[in-house]
Structure 1
Amino acid sequence: MIKNTPEFITEFCPEEFSLTPVLGGLSNYNYRLEFQRDGVDYCYFVRQLSAAYSTMDNNVAHEFSAQAQAASIDLAPKIIVEHKQGMICDWIAGQHWGPSAQCRDENIEKVAQLVATLHQQPLPNHHLDMTERLQHYYQTVDGEFKTEQLEQQLAFVINLIQQHLPRNRLVFCHHDMNPLNFIEGAQTKLYLLDWEFAAAGHGDFDIATLFQTFAWQAEQQALFLKYYNQYYNKHHPTEQFLTQIPTQVTPAQIDRMAVVVEMMTLLWCIVMYQQDKETTYLTLWQQSERAIADKISRLISENLAN
C-alpha cells in the first residue's frame, strides 16, 4: 500500500486491495491494482499524476481523450476511471520487448503498422505545436542553466521547424514512442501506453523518437520506413489524400526531425532535474546535451538544414 492512497483509487476499490509499483515511468507513478470481489480476481493499471505533470504543459482531459480514441481501435488500454489525480485502466498482461526482440524484422513491421494506423486516425482536437512547447520548456528552465549554447541550439531548432520540415504530416501523434511504452499482449497483439503527450502533431516526430529510443541501426530504420510507407499509403482514409501524391517518409526528413526530438528531450531533462535534482535526469541531460551538438553538426555538414 502506498502512503496517502489517492481518493480515486479508494473509491473504486473494495476495502481490501493491493497496489504494487510498476517500474518504468519517469514522470508519474504507476501501479498494478489487484483485488477480489464476489469471488472474482480483478487487476488494473493505475497511473497517479506527479506534481510535474502540469508543469510540463500537459492537460489531463486531453490525455484521457487521446487514449480513449486510441483504445476505441484497440491500440491502447481502455480507461476505466478518469480523475484529475490520475486514471485506472485495463491491465495488459504481456511484456515489453528487450533489445534483441526490438530489432527483429517481424517486430519492426508490427511497430510500423501500429504507428501508421495511429497516424491515419482522425486528428485529436488539441494540437502540439513544437515551437510553442520548446519555448515553454525553455522559459521554465532556471536562469543558471540557460547558456549561450543552449539558446543558440534552440534558435537553430526553431528555424528548422519553421523552414525545413514537410508541411503535409499533421497526424494523430503519440509523441513519446519508446520501448517501455510498447507492450505485447495476448496473441502477440501490440499496444501503446502512456498518452500524456498525445495530440495532433507532426508524424515525423513519432518516427524520429522511435529511431532514437529503439537505437535502431540504418538497416532497421530503412526497414521500418519501408513498412510504414506501405501501410500508411495503402490505408490512408481521407478523401483529400486521394488527390495527393502519396507520402513517402525519407531518412533525410527523419534526420532533421531527430534534432527537434533531441532538443525537446534536452529541455525536458533540464526542467525535470531542476525540480528534484534526481541524478537520473542529470545523466539523461548530459547524454542529450552531447547528442544535440552531434546531430546539429551532422545536419550542417550534410547540408540537411538548408
Structure 2
Amino acid sequence: MILHDEIENLFRTVPLLAAVPRGQWRVTHLGGITNRSYRLQSTGLDLVLRWPGASASRYLDRSAEPANARAVADLGLAPRVLAAEPAQGWYITAYETGARPLGSADFAQREILAEAIGLLTRLHRAAIRFPFQQGLFQAIDLYLDLAPTPRMLDLRQRLDPVRSSLARHPLPLSPCHIDPNPANFLRCADGRLQLIDWEFAAMEEPLWDLAAITMDAEKAAHEDLISAVIGAAQMPRFELYKTSLNLVAASWCEAEIVAGNDSPELVALRDQRILRLEQRLADPHHVIWLQQA
C-alpha cells in the first residue's frame, strides 16, 4: 500500500521504521471515522501507526495525544508507545496480536461492563494529569460553532436547565478518556482489557466516561455498578451526564458531516443520539434529576 507523502516519509525518518527497507513493510489500513490508523508489519515487527485525520484538527489539539497515550501505557491501561511526533500528532504503538475490539453486545454483558468500569476507574484514580480540560457544554458549543444547524441549536437551548443544574455542585476533575465507546476497548489475547485512541483525553468529572459506556444500557442493568463507584447521591448528576452526552455525540456528528466527512456511520449515529436525547428529556425522572443533581 502506497501512503500519503507525509506518512511515507516516516519510513525514511523514524529510526524504528527506517531500520527496515520500505519494500519489506506490509501496510494494512485499519479504518477510523476521523483518524487514519495503519498496521505496519515486517519480520519481527508488528506495529500500529495512528495518523490524525484532517477534519478533527478543527476541534482537537493533536499535540497532546502521544503524551496522553504514553502516560496511560505506563499504567498498563494502553498499548506501549514506541515512537511519536507531538508536533504532527502521530504515534506508533505495538500491535496487540490476537486482540479484538469490543462491541455493543459486549457492554450488554454485565461482567464485561463491570470490567470496563473498573478499567476506567483505575484511570480516574491515577496520579496523572492530561494537559487539557473538557466539559459537556464546552464540547457541545464547540461543535455547534462549527455546525450551527437549527435542529442542534434548538436541542442545545432545551438543555440549558441541565447546564444550570450541573453547574451547582461540580465534582473534582480526573484524567478521563472522553471517548470510551466499545471499539476503543481491546480484549487482548491474554485476557487483559486495554483502551486505545487518546485524542480526546482530558481532565473531566469521571461521570463523563461512566455515563458514556452506559448510555444505551437499561438503568437496572448498571445502576448498582455505577453507584458502587460514585455513591448513590451522585446518581442524578450521572443521569444528566448521560442525557447531555447524546447531544455531545449528535453535535460532533453534525460538525463532521458539515465538514464533508462522508462516513456512512455519522448520519445514523447522529439520528440515533437525537432520538435518545428526546426520549430522555421526555422521561418523567428528568425533572427529578434536575432538582437533585
TM-score (norm 1): 0.81
Offset from partner CA, 1:13-70 (integer Å, 9 cap, x none): 22221211114x211111111112xxxx2101111111112212x1222222221111
Post-superposition offset of 1:303: 2.3
Q: For 1:65, give the aligned amino acid.
A: A
Count of residue correspondences: 278
Alignment of 1:189-228 (within 5 A): 189-212=192-215, 215-225=216-226, 228=229
Q: 1:248 to 1:301 in 2, by over 3 A?
A: closer
Offset from partner CA, 1:154-185 (integer Å, 9 cap, x none): 5344324323xx52341111001111000111
Identity %: 18
Q: For 2:26, give the aligned amino acid.
A: S
Post-superposition offset of 1:209: 0.3
Q: For 1:261, give the aligned amino acid.
A: L
CA distance, structure 2, for counterparts of residue 116 and residue 22 of structure 1: 28
Q: Which residue of 2 aligns with 1:233?
A: none
Q: Which residue of 1 aligns with 2:143?
A: 137
Q: 1:169 touches 1:204 (CA, 8 Å); kept in 2?
A: no
CA distance, structure 2, for counterparts of residue 114 and residue 198 of structure 1: 15
Q: CA RMSD in A?
A: 2.4
Q: 2:181 touches 2:213 (CA, 8 Å); kept in 1?
A: yes
Q: 1:154 to 1:138 in 2, by over 3 A?
A: farther
Q: 1:250 to 1:85 in 2, by over 3 A?
A: closer
Q: Say which SS state the counterpart of residue 166 (structure 2) adopts.
A: helix
Q: 1:225 touches 1:249 (CA, 8 Å); kept in 2?
A: no
Structure 2 unaligned segments of length 5 or more: list them. Answer: none
Q: 1:63 aligns with which of 62, 65, 68?
A: 65
CA distance, structure 1, for counterparts of residue 66 and residue 27 of structure 2: 22
TM-score (norm 2): 0.85
Q: 1:204 touches 1:254 (CA, 8 Å); kept in 2?
A: yes
Q: 2:35 aligns with which of 28, 31, 34?
A: 28
Post-superposition offset of 1:100: 4.5
Q: Which residue of 2 aligns with 1:150?
A: 155
Alignment of 1:1-306 (within 5 A): 1-5=1-5, 6=7, 7-12=9-14, 13=17, 14=20, 15=22, 16-23=24-31, 25-36=32-43, 41-56=44-59, 58-83=60-85, 84-93=88-97, 94-122=99-127, 123-142=129-148, 144-145=149-150, 149-163=154-168, 166-212=169-215, 215-225=216-226, 228=229, 247=231, 250-276=234-260, 278=262, 279-298=264-283, 301-306=286-291
Q: Say which SS state the counterpart of residue 187 (structure 1) adopts.
A: coil
Structure 1 unaligned segments of length 5 or more: list them. Answer: 230-246
Q: 1:301 to 1:168 in 2, by over 3 A?
A: closer
Q: 1:299 touches 1:305 (CA, 8 Å); kept in 2?
A: no
Q: Say which SS state the counterpart of residue 40 (structure 2) adopts.
A: strand
Q: 1:301 to 1:205 in 2, by over 3 A?
A: closer
Q: 1:66 to 1:268 in 2, by over 3 A?
A: same
CA distance, structure 2, for counterparts of residue 184 and residue 209 of structure 1: 19
Higher alpha-carbon deviation: 144-153 or 84-93: 144-153
CA distance, structure 1, for counterparts of residue 63 and residue 171 of structure 2: 27
CA distance, structure 1, for counterparts of residue 144 and residue 104 of structure 2: 33
